[in-house]
């Protein structure tokens, strides 16, 4: 029995290592292109190496589950095709005994993924943003993401409704007093064009169909009166030297550890004071979705192995192409639920943070049932 376990574990780990190497490389292709672009700008190889290494933990969060699934399908498909499973069972071994070393490996992989997803990759993705910002290479245009408020530029809070490369629509720009943090005016525009002038360290925003709102603090009686100015064109110049000089990069949700997410979930009042009660509830829901997605993804290697063992046996195939096709099919179904939870993360009443657990629970129970049948 000991030699059998060593035989299975050795074959499994070899296939798993090769699969993880290839899949991690595929996930890291985007980072490789970015690293080459950074090298072309004269940055030292050491900095480029750090940039590339910081991307690996995020890739591992996805490549480890996929590799575990693919390796299990391939190994047990080959064992079944070569009639080794039948030989093991005829010698008195149950499927539980045959599968136990691989199941234990999947539990260890889930533990590694849990630590990586909750602690390591959030910190490395945040470190990467700090690294890029420190080099002054981050394209300021890319900071203006559509559908959310951008607070990275000192003195401004900017909302972009739609964005297509350097063209934007439905812009709202709030001018913020740097000392009091109060809104001193707002600019709304139907469209705009973004241009980054790196020589002058400026982000140029040329706005069209503009409506400017200026609170009239000198108005007698009601201090909340507002003056409105309409303009066909209106330029805004943002100095991103101040942006680059600020070493504190605001953390996005993906950059927060599980402990930081848990704190924000338990204390929604820590969100931006400008957010209303409804918006804070939405932010709390989005934090819940992010936390549950990470934990569910970390436990997926165990679930994938439980499903892959009986599926590999019943497929009776040892070709890697069949294993890869089946792996992609299972992963596609699994990620549909992840995407669905992201789509519903602004609807707290639908409990979107529970959606990532549906494939985990169904997969585990299905895997145990199929293993019992195979036994």
Query: Of 11, 6, 91, nearest to 318 (Cα)?
Result: 11
- pLDDT(316) > 80: no
**What pLDDT score was predicted for residue 176?**
83
Which of 8-17, 151-160, 174-183, 246-255: highest mean pLDDT? 8-17
Cβ atoms of 334 and 68 within 8 Å: the answer is no
- pLDDT band for position 77 (cuts 50, 70, 90): confident
- pLDDT(136) > 70: no
Please tell me which residue, 294 or 97, carries the higher pLDDT value.
Answer: 294
Q: Name the token pair of 105.
A: 């490996």
**What pLDDT score was predicted for residue 111?**
95
- pLDDT(244) > 60: no
- pLDDT(155) > 70: yes
**What pLDDT score was predicted for residue 142?**
66
Percent of the chain past pLDDT 70, that is, above it, reads: 83
**What SS3 string covers the chain?**
CHHHHHHHHHHHHHHHHHHHHHHHHHHCHHHHHHHHHHHHCCCCHHHHHHHHHHHHHHHHHHHHHHHHHHHHHHHHHHHHHCCHHHHHHHCCCCHHHHHHHHHHHHHHHHHHHHHHHHHHHHHHHHHHHHHHHHHCCCCHHHHCCECCEECCCCCEEEEEEEEECCEEEEEEEEEECCCCCCEEEEEEEEEEEEEEECCCCEEEEEEEEEEEEEECCCCCCCCCCEEEEEEEEEEEEEEHHHHHHCCCCCCCHHHCCHHHHHHHHHCHHHCCCCCCHHHHHHHHHHHHHHHHHHHHHHHHHHHHHHHHHHHHHHHCCCCHHHHHHHHHHHHHHHHHHHHHHHHCCCCHHHCHHHCCHHHHHHHHHHHHHHHHHHC
**What pLDDT score was predicted for residue 296?**
94
**What pLDDT score was predicted for residue 226?**
73
- pLDDT band for position 240 (cuts 50, 70, 90): low
Cβ atoms of 214 and 226 within 8 Å: the answer is yes
pLDDT tens-place string over residues 343-358: 998 888 999 999 999 9
**What pLDDT score was predicted for residue 107?**
95
Please tell me which residue, 100 or 134, carries the higher pLDDT value.
Answer: 100
Q: What is the mean pLDDT of residues 88-102?
A: 84
pLDDT tens-place string over residues 208-238: 989 888 776 665 555 457 778 888 888 888 7
pLDDT tens-place string over residues 15-55: 999 989 988 888 877 777 777 766 665 566 777 788 888 88
End-to-end CA distance of the chain: 17
Q: What is the mean pLDDT of residues 243-268?
A: 78
Cβ atoms of 214 and 227 within 8 Å: the answer is yes
**What pLDDT score was predicted for residue 89?**
81
**What pLDDT score was predicted for residue 223?**
47
DSSP bridge partners of 196: 203
Is the pTM here over 0.75, yes or no? no
pLDDT tens-place string over residues 175-210: 887 777 777 888 899 898 988 776 676 778 888 989
Handedness of CA 206, 212, 214, 220 (dihedral sign): positive
223 burial type by CB count under 10 A (0-12 exposed, 13-18 middle, 19+ buried) = exposed
The phi and psi torsions of 309 (rounded to 5 degrees) equal -60, -55
- pLDDT band for position 359 (cuts 50, 70, 90): very high
- pLDDT(245) > 80: no
């Amino acid at each position: 029995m000991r030699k059998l376990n060593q035989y299975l574990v050795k074959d499994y780990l070899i296939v798993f290592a090769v699969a993880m190497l290839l899949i991690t490389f595929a996930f890291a292709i985007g980072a490789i292109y970015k690293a080459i672009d950074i090298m072309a700008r004269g940055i030292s190889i050491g900095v480029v190496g750090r940039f590339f290494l910081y991307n690996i933990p995020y890739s591992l969060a996805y490549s480890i589950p996929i590799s575990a699934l693919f390796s299990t399908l391939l190994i047990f498909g080959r064992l079944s095709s070569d009639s080794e499973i039948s030989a093991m069972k005829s010698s008195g071994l149950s499927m539980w005994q045959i599968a136990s070393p691989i199941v234990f490996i999947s539990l260890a992989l889930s533990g590694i993924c849990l630590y990586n997803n909750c602690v390591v990759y959030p910190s490395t993705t945040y470190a990467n943003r700090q690294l890029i910002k420190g080099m002054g290479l981050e394209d300021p245009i890319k900071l203006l993401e559509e559908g959310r408020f951008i607070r990275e530029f000192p003195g401004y809070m900017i909302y972009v409704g739609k964005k297509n490369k350097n063209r934007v629509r439905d812009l709202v720009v709030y001018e913020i007093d740097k000392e009091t943090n109060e809104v001193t005016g707002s600019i709304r525009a139907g469209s705009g064009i973004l241009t980054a002038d790196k020589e002058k360290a400026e982000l140029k925003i040329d706005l069209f169909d503009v409506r400017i709102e200026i609170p009239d603090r000198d108005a007698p009686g009601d201090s909340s009166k507002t003056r409105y100015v309409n303009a066909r064109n209106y330029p805004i110049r943002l100095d991103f030297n101040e942006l680059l000089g600020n070493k504190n990069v605001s953390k996005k949700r993906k950059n927060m550890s599980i402990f930081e997410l848990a704190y924000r979930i338990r204390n929604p009042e820590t969100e931006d004071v400008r957010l209303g009660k409804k918006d804070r509830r939405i932010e709390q829901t989005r934090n819940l979705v992010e936390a549950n997605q990470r934990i569910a993804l970390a436990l997926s290697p165990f679930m994938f192995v439980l499903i892959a063992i009986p599926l590999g046996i019943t497929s009776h195939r040892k070709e890697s192409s069949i294993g890869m096709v089946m792996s992609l099919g299972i992963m596609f179904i699994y990620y549909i639920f992840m995407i669905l939870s992201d789509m519903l993360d602004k609807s707290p009443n639908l409990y979107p943070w529970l959606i990532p657990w549906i494939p985990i629970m169904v997969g585990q129970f299905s895997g145990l049932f199929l293993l019992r049948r195979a036994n």
